[in-house]
Structure 1
Amino acid sequence: MNSRKIVIAHRGASAYLPEHTMEAKAMAYAMNPDYIEQDLVLSKDNVPVVIHDIYLDDVTNVTEVFPDKKRKDNRYYVIDFTFDELQLLQVTERFNPKTGKQFYPTRFPKNKGNFKLHSFEQEIELIQGLNYSTGKNIGIYPEIKNPEFHYENGKDIAKITLDILSDYGYKTKNDNCIFQCFDAKELERVRTELKSDLFLVQLMEFPEETKKLQHFATYADGIGPWYKQIIDKKENGKWLFTSFVSDAHKLGLKVHPYTFRADQLGEFSSFNEMLQVLFFEANIDGGFTDFPDKIVEFLAKK
């Protein structure tokens, strides 16, 4: 991994097209990020499906197509459907299944277009095919979702995913693939028990996990925190930071925070301010964004 800042297309070009659709991935590819992200959940017949969650009812029309396949909690789970059944669903912009309201109102209109779910293999073939036809070399950045839930349902998502990666030539740190997971126990297993030599990123969600950086460094090559774990506060017009990034760098860990959204600026006055503060003042190594074009352009100007 080189020292320049990298751009990771979060769920594809998800600011412009429904997340994790092939269309969002093709659009992201054309924006020249360094990596395109795939979230993975297994189908009933063990096909890794590219979708952000173990649920289907906030990005598809599953309630209309399979009304009787919901579980006791009224949710619809990817794992209860074969890959062929999943192909019958329409994918749409993310919405709240209780209210039907779209999450990001200014993004692609809900229930428009003709989008489908696809497998991890199909997406790898799209990206490798485009690398071949364009001469570019854009990487993949898969995340296995909720391994514990998969175990409870009798499935080993890590092993299935690593086997597919290996089949497509992603085996070592040089192979343009970064493998990520929130579950620390499982990511450590990927390194030690499953003996993967891929570049591993430990995703982080909770403040107390910052105390575990030293342990993460024993098996991971990088960490993926929420960007707010890096910022402390603004004082006299100047941003102050936690010791997070410098602590990680001292341990040799790369830092790839999530998620940079131009339509969700939080404490920043503009998207450029957000990027300047995190990429250059806080000195992160890369970031996940729904707007890959904007960060690619921003970094090119630097």
Structure 2
Amino acid sequence: MQKKIVIAHRGASGYLPEHTMEAKAMAHTMNPDYIEQDLVLSKDNIPIVIHDIYLDDVTNVAEKFPEKKREDERFYVIDFTFEDLQKLNVTERFNPKTGEQIYPNRFPKGKGNFNLHSLQQEIELIQGLNVSKGKNIGIYPEIKNPEFHHQNGKDIAKITLDILSTYGYKTKSDKCMFQCFDAKELERVRKEFKSDLFLVQLIEFPEETKQLKHFTSYADGLGPWYKQILDKKVAGKWQFTPLVKEAHKLGLQVHPYTFRADQLDEFFSFEEMIQVLLFEANVDGGFTDFPDKMLAYLTKY
């Protein structure tokens, strides 16, 4: 049986605030295959590791820089220099309107001393740990909202690819998978920039599943929301949409998101979720906030 790929989603984000260096170091000790980086550019064109173009749901920016709020009441990474961003404290994800923590049983909001960091800093951490621990754990960067960056005169794809190349990530054999939701931009990465990295097309909406054939003209893998794989239960057994089989026929790997032990929805247990998606639906791997739990199940299996 082929090896299932475990991707540490935003690091070990089930245990420490997402996309912090501490969450990445903890993830590395769990030995996943890849650690994920979401990327947004700062005002001075530094790729910052953060899930959104916004700052106000994972940092104390509203307290630190209240004057930087835009008319829509949000605070944007792109309005801050790297130096200013490093003055912020990162916390467990919360609703900026209510202040309530999104995952109540995770690391307590407002506790600890966590900061934002750049893609370069994270690569150096992961590559350094690979050396000191004798590992070869890969990176899995995602450029966020490239169209927003273009509208603000910034080319996040080019900047990110240049950095990846500097650190030795150039081809499919370099333990780097590069992902994006924007199909036009990911196609640009392959065709305009001639990148030879392993490219993964992320999808979110049902109509996107009809474009699989087109995705194969530039992508190597598919990253669907896991619910796009589930159909219905018949006599207590899950039936699946044709998505995985069709993707595999076209030569695309499938890495669904997100396996969360504290947000099971359709499943009775995290183990059931892993069993159903990784083995019964036969996906090739998955993004998880709990890489240790997924790896423990795979080892046992």
- TM-score bin (small chain): over 0.9
- Partner residue, 1:65: 64
Question: Are positions 1:121 and 2:111 aligned together?
Answer: no
* Runs of 4+ deviating beyond 4 Å: none
Question: Are positions 1:11 and 2:13 aligned together?
Answer: no
Give aligned-pair identity as a percent: 79
Where does the alignment leave 5 or more consecutive residues of structure 2 unmatched?
none
Give the secondary structure class of the aligned counterpart of 1:93.
coil
Give the secondary structure class of the aligned counterpart of 1:59.
coil
Matched residues in 2 for 1:110 and 1:143: separation? 25
TM-score normalised according to structure 2 size: 0.99
TM-superposed deviation, 1:60: 0.3
Matched residues in 2 for 1:142 and 1:299: separation? 24
TM-superposed deviation, 1:4: 1.2
Matched residues in 2 for 1:112 and 1:264: separation? 22
- AA aligned to 1:41 is V
Give the secondary structure class of the aligned counterpart of 1:186.
helix
- Partner residue, 1:86: 85
- Partner residue, 1:180: 179
- AA aligned to 1:100 is G
Question: Are positions 1:192 and 2:191 aligned together?
Answer: yes
- Matching of residues 100-115 of structure 1 within 5 Å: 100-115=99-114
- Partner residue, 1:232: 231
Describe the superposition over 1:238-294 as per-residue Cα deviations: whole angstroms up to 9, x where unpaired.
110011000000000000000000000011111111100000000000000000000
TM-superposed deviation, 1:118: 0.2
Describe the superposition over 1:91-144 as per-residue Cα deviations: whole angstroms up to 9, x where unpaired.
000000000000000000000000000000000000000000010100000000
Matched residues in 2 for 1:275 and 1:142: separation? 23
- Partner residue, 2:257: 258
- AA aligned to 1:186 is E
TM-superposed deviation, 1:301: 1.2
Where does the alignment leave 5 or more consecutive residues of structure 1 unmatched?
none
Describe the superposition over 1:162-199 as per-residue Cα deviations: whole angstroms up to 9, x where unpaired.
00000000000000000000000000000000110000
- Partner residue, 2:244: 245
Matched residues in 1 for 2:63 and 2:237: separation? 51
- Matching of residues 13-162 of structure 1 within 5 Å: 13-162=12-161
TM-superposed deviation, 1:3: 3.5
Give the secondary structure class of the aligned counterpart of 2:125.
helix
Describe the superposition over 1:25-57 as per-residue Cα deviations: whole angstroms up to 9, x where unpaired.
000000010000000000000000000000000
Matched residues in 1 for 2:62 and 2:267: separation? 38
Question: C-alpha root-mean-square deviation of aligned residues, in Å?
Answer: 0.7
TM-score normalised according to structure 1 size: 0.99
TM-superposed deviation, 1:85: 0.2
- Partner residue, 1:212: 211
